[in-house]
A and B are shown apart, each in its own frame.
Chain A
Amino acid sequence: MRGINQTGIVRRVQGVVKRVNLAGWLFVVLVAGLLEAAVRLFELQDSLPASSATLRALAHGILSGTLPGELRTTLESYAEGFALAIVGGVVLGVAIGSSRTLLDASSVVIEFLRPIPAVALIPLAILFFGVGIPMRRFLIAYAALWPILINTLYGVRGTDRVLHDVAETSGVTRVGRAVRVTLPAALPSIATGIRVSASIALLVGVTAEFVIGTDGIGSYMQRQQLAYQLPELYAALVLIGLLGYAINVVLRATEQRVVFWVGEERMAGR
């Protein structure tokens, strides 16, 4: 009989390695290392920063408060616009989705406005709102509205008719029904829409900052590019990537807790 403790320890280490995905993170380190080597060996400092330089710039930027400051500016308009879009998108979506008439009436308008990319409206938004926070708030809200609205409509329309019938015969008012049956039933779709909107909103917000160039991390990046400060530029890039990744992770976790019944349903259905 083999040494049980030995096997147990090996197995536990293997388990931890798998969960933390050591191989994956090692690969990231490998790529960074290769980049470092390539830049040093081939003297590419003019086009690419060495990974070590990027890390140093990142640390410096964070510790000096520059990067967090820019990030805060970006996140302010982002959060406000995103919140507006969620509220507007869900309310409109539930209202329109619950009524066949409203749905038909608004269908052409929605189909017309939907394909227009929010970033194309940047020049327009500048004319209307100037270059400050209101403009970014508007743009982010507009961009984030559509996936949420469409997904809410989809979720509301797709709800099992049985649930609707149960609600109707239960004597709850129309508004009550909308809030207590339609909304929860559409929640999985809405959650997906919110997740998609989050990345679109970030993209549009950063783009607007980049194009206008006043404040926020987008304009910070543009300034670094103009000044040819490559490590700082890449450091900001890494930070934005981490931000987007973090937002996604948070949303997914929230989604799993709020819409906890979805996984089970899918498993049962399969």
Chain B
Amino acid sequence: MAMYDVANEYGTDRAGLYRPAISARGLVKRFGDVAAVDGIDLEVPRGAIFAILGPNGAGKTTLMRMLATLARPDAGSASVMGHDLLAAPHEVRAAIAMTGQFASLDEDLTGRENLVLLARLWGFRGRAARERADALLAAFELSDAARKQVKDYSGGMRRRLDIAASLVVTPGVLFLDEPTTGLDPTARQRVWRMIRDLARSGVTILLTTQYLEEADQLAERIAVIDRGRKIAEGTSRELKAATGSGFLHVALADPAQIDAAAAILQARLGHPAQRNVEGARLNVVAGSAAAANAGVAALLEAGIELSDFSLGSPSLDEVFFALTGEGPAAEERADATGAEA
């Protein structure tokens, strides 16, 4: 009986408030012969920060552009805030806001004029448009630069203005395409703080990033995509569990010993070692500090001299390695980037 009740509850939820903000099935986008997005399913719950993590050219931007009605899918279907992407693009547009990878602002105008322009396009008139612009400038700590032309803004200021420009009206879903790419650490922290704060207002945020740390810092749920396909999805904790809680990084003094060292580490730690011949480096899942310690000791016992070693959380490359058994394909990445641009 209890089981039945739970199922019933879910049914009610799905029809109402807990219907996902984004629901996509089998989305495909091709550019010539290259499938930039090659059949992706996505389910983003309302009110969450959801990250799409992947290397350059993995299809992140293309996926986001499809969901924001800027690119038409070649196959598959999706709904955003309950509106069908293909049948009702205008309704989707009214429910979303998108901050692209390249500042979507008019550089010749001032920050304030950019926001007033957008406020008027959304239907605020005269004084209301100016007040809305000023409120946004204040919230994003840009009041002092309000009357400066955007071309004189720093990278961080542009990003903040760009995000503010997406909040002229409260969006159902806010798309952020690589919100901190190219920013210095201070500016990045500031943008992160604002995104986190924003999520408290209940706005659903879908962001793309190539930084594991960023996804980890911001998102409740992360989808990892590579070469147009989703290769993993879960919470940050789940993904880390899949990749091992710790990664042992060693650098060899003598590159000729790399094969021997890889064999020893695999035997000792029970995971294959990822080789980086350039720089004679090896990365391997260690599981615990004690295990990492034992691995290093085994290398030293075998007479393999190390120039450096460390135990750290997995990098994006290592997540890929753990999930796919190989690193992100560099050449294909370059191709897909070209098609995406």
A-B interaction: no
Binding site for A on B (CB under 8 A): none
